[in-house]
Chain A
Amino acid sequence: DQVLHIVPKTLQQVQHLRHLCNTLPLDLWKPLLPEDISTGEDLHMRVPGPLVQEVKDSLDEHLISYNILEQDVGALLDQSVRRTGGSPRRGPAGYNYTQYHPMDEIYQWMTQVKESNSELVTLHDLGKTSENRTIYYLQISQPSNKNKKIIWMDCGIHAREWISPAFCQWFVKEILQNYKSDPKISRFLQNLDLYILPVLNVDGYIYSWEKERLWRKNRSPHMNGTCYGTDLNRNFNSSWGSIGVSYNCSSNIFCGSGPESEPETRAVAHFIERKKEDIVCYLTIHSYGQYILTPYGSTTKPPSNNEELIQVAEKAAAALMGKYGTSYQVGSTSSILYSNSGSSRDWAHMIGIPFSYTFELRDNGTHGFLLPEDQIEPTCEETM
């Protein structure tokens, strides 16, 4: 196998490359989807051994220049040593779900998941981040002529909460590994579609890996680049800017220059707005604290379906506790946590999505944001 690097120069070249990707079993590493191939942008693709000559001939024919990034991928794989740790819970292509993964690995994982489960899973582009990275979500949908309702779950809105994207990945794996054998899951999928966004705040997540582990916000520049980041969970149009926020960019709860000022917020909000008639449940995953939070954060006035919201959440908390004894508190953000405005969960409920919850996963403060990898499995198992 070889990895080729190409920078398309013209639209014809882009079209030809897309054609190659769509007709041959090529492994596109960058960008993730053929439709995202564009002129002037780096393209990296792994070409299976038997096809290398054919692909090169085709590129030569179309005057597309390339260079070889990797001569022999097989040899590389043999030598590669992964970080040790975590019990071997593998999924597609040996992915370790009991370790934290950097963003490029998560991007890879998303393509692999889509490819190994193409009868059920599709990958979609939600929009771009502040630093122009793509936000992808996975749609798990059993083909049928029924018009199914949607459950939306997003993870990683706050960069430092690493257990959150880890949970989204775990969730996807569990569903895909068990939908044929587990009657509960297969019934689920007969009637519901699952939309999973593993990392919403991509720029922030990468920043927490590369520069500052405890970063929270996105990476949009303010004040001429002297200050960075808006708290995406204060940026939604739900009583925006009214309480529990700061108007100062240097604060970790800076609500942004206006509601939906951030591209990440807009990407999610526009999509959910379009689909809201069909979305029955909105879930957003955070850490830490061990809470299942109901609306609202911006006011203590209870939502119209409060009793039902609490009842369902309490059942969930009880089931969760049944697994390992972990106790989660249930209640509205404003009553058991603190007041805040502009949260995605409040906004989802306000536009009419009946079941909107924020999950704050383990732990209670002992490790806080730095939850050890050996707690990924139990946290995810109990939350499932």
Chain B
Amino acid sequence: VPGVGHKYYLQFTTEDYRSRDSAGSCLATVLFEQGNSPPAVTISCVDTKDEKQIQEEDNKFYQKIKQQTKPIMANDIPDSYGNIEPALEPVWALAVVGSSKIMWEKSTENLSYSMAQVKSAKQWIRQDDFVEFDYTVLLHEIPTQEMISCHLRVIWLPGHPMKVKHFCASENQWFEETSGMESGSAAGILQEKEQNF
């Protein structure tokens, strides 16, 4: 678009991250204006996934976590051989969702990301209904091929938008925070993102 920037028209299909089953298709436009502001996006999707089944799985996982008296802690998911312990798969999946928020913020017309690995995961036990995890994740940045280390805090309750705070190694401050890291409290979370997990 002369004088404004680049506009992209996209038609794409989506699939489940793990199973590769089809999850729907979308139409979108993305407008990158000259300068580095996040792009303007319009999007509409047709979902083909089974809502009920997803809700059931979410609730099962949620119950298991809530029953924990000792906080879940883990490192290197997947491990060097690509293995993810079945019990830790949902912990990994929560990190994937949280990371997608970081990637959404950091991506530009020339830089894209994937989540390469969860270096560490630590659960914070909460008194209220929410589930909370602290992660260190590695994001693979293209085309620089760098691994960017990010600190990620995720607060979740099935049926609610996930709350995400993040801080990546090259940045100078926590994004969307009011008063720095607090342990186990929900205060200071500003930005939300709707996620069907």
- Mostly, the B contact residues are loop
Interface residue ranges of B128-143 to A (CB < 8 Å): 138, 140, 142-143
A207 to chain B, nearest CB (A): 12
Which of these binds chain B: A15-23, A61-69, A366-374? A366-374
Cβ of B127 within 8 Å of any chain A Cβ, yes or no, is: no
Q: Is the CB of A370 within 8 A of B116?
A: yes
Q: Is the CB of A338 within 8 A of B143?
A: yes
Within 8 Å CB of B142, what residues of A? 338
Q: Beta-carbon contacts of A240-255 to B below 8 Å, as 1s and 0s?
A: 0000101000011100
Cβ of A345 within 8 Å of any chain B Cβ, yes or no, is: no
Q: Beta-carbon contacts of A303-343 to B below 8 Å, as 1s and 0s?
A: 00000000000000000000000000000000001111000
A279 to chain B, nearest CB (A): 28
Q: Beta-carbon contacts of B90-127 to A below 8 Å, as 1s and 0s?
A: 00000000000000000000000011110000000000
A225–B143 Cα distance when bound, in Å, is 26
- B84: nearest chain-A partner, CB-CB: A372
Interface residue ranges of A329-384 to B (CB < 8 Å): 337-340, 365-373, 375
Number of interface residues of B (CB under 8 A): 21
B119 to chain A, nearest CB (A): 10
Q: Is the CB of A369 within 8 A of B81?
A: no
A85–B80 Cα distance when bound, in Å, is 14
B110 to chain A, nearest CB (A): 8
Q: Is the CB of B147 within 8 A of A373?
A: no
Q: Is the CB of B81 within 8 A of A340?
A: no
**Out of B79, B114, B115, B145, which one reaches A252, CB within 8 Å?**
B145
Within 8 Å CB of B143, what residues of A? 244, 253, 337-340
Within 8 Å CB of A369, what residues of B? 116, 140
Q: Is the CB of A366 within 8 A of B82?
A: no
Q: Is the CB of A373 within 8 A of B138?
A: no
Cβ of A214 within 8 Å of any chain B Cβ, yes or no, is: yes
- Among B78, B82, B83, the one with the most A-chain Cβ atoms within 10 Å of its Cβ is B82
Cβ of A231 within 8 Å of any chain B Cβ, yes or no, is: yes
Interface residue ranges of B21-41 to A (CB < 8 Å): none
Within 8 Å CB of A219, what residues of B? none
Q: Is the CB of A370 within 8 A of B117?
A: yes
Q: Is the CB of B145 within 8 A of A375?
A: no
Interface residue ranges of A186-211 to B (CB < 8 Å): 209
A373–B18 Cα distance when bound, in Å, is 15
A332 to chain B, nearest CB (A): 15
Cβ of A44 within 8 Å of any chain B Cβ, yes or no, is: no
Q: Is the CB of B81 within 8 A of A214?
A: no
Q: Is the CB of B81 within 8 A of A372?
A: yes
Cβ of B144 within 8 Å of any chain A Cβ, yes or no, is: yes
Q: Is the CB of A251 within 8 A of B18?
A: no
B71 to chain A, nearest CB (A): 25
Cβ of A149 within 8 Å of any chain B Cβ, yes or no, is: no
Cβ of A46 within 8 Å of any chain B Cβ, yes or no, is: no
- B77: nearest chain-A partner, CB-CB: A370
Within 8 Å CB of A338, what residues of B? 142-143
Known pairs A214-B116, A368-B116, A372-B83; A251 contacts B17 (CB<8 A): no
Q: Is the CB of A375 within 8 A of B146?
A: no
Q: Is the CB of A252 within 8 A of B78?
A: no
A325 to chain B, nearest CB (A): 9
Q: Is the CB of A214 within 8 A of B147?
A: yes
Interface residue ranges of A292-311 to B (CB < 8 Å): none
A100–B79 Cα distance when bound, in Å, is 12
Within 8 Å CB of B18, what residues of A? 366
Known pairs A253-B143, A340-B143; A371 contacts B17 (CB<8 A): no
Q: Is the CB of A368 within 8 A of B145?
A: no
A373–B116 Cα distance when bound, in Å, is 16
A209–B144 Cα distance when bound, in Å, is 22
Interface residue ranges of B145-172 to A (CB < 8 Å): 145-147
Cβ of A216 within 8 Å of any chain B Cβ, yes or no, is: yes
A253–B142 Cα distance when bound, in Å, is 11
Within 8 Å CB of B78, what residues of A? 367, 370, 372
A214–B118 Cα distance when bound, in Å, is 12
Cβ of A213 within 8 Å of any chain B Cβ, yes or no, is: yes
Within 8 Å CB of B145, what residues of A? 216, 231, 252-253
- B78: nearest chain-A partner, CB-CB: A370
Q: Is the CB of B147 within 8 A of A370?
A: no
Within 8 Å CB of B116, what residues of A? 214, 368-370
- With contacts A371-B82, A372-B83 known, what are 8 further pairs, Cβ within 8 A? A100-B81, A209-B80, A244-B143, A338-B142, A365-B114, A366-B18, A370-B116, A373-B82
Q: List 18 A-B contacts (CB under 8 A).
A: A213-B117, A214-B116, A214-B117, A214-B138, A251-B144, A251-B146, A252-B144, A252-B147, A253-B144, A253-B145, A339-B143, A340-B143, A366-B18, A368-B115, A368-B140, A370-B116, A372-B78, A372-B82
Interface residues of B (CB under 8 A from A): 17-18, 78-84, 114-117, 138, 140, 142-147
What are the 10 closest A-B residue pairs judged by CB atoms, nearest first? A372-B82, A365-B114, A338-B143, A252-B145, A370-B78, A370-B82, A213-B80, A371-B82, A368-B116, A252-B146
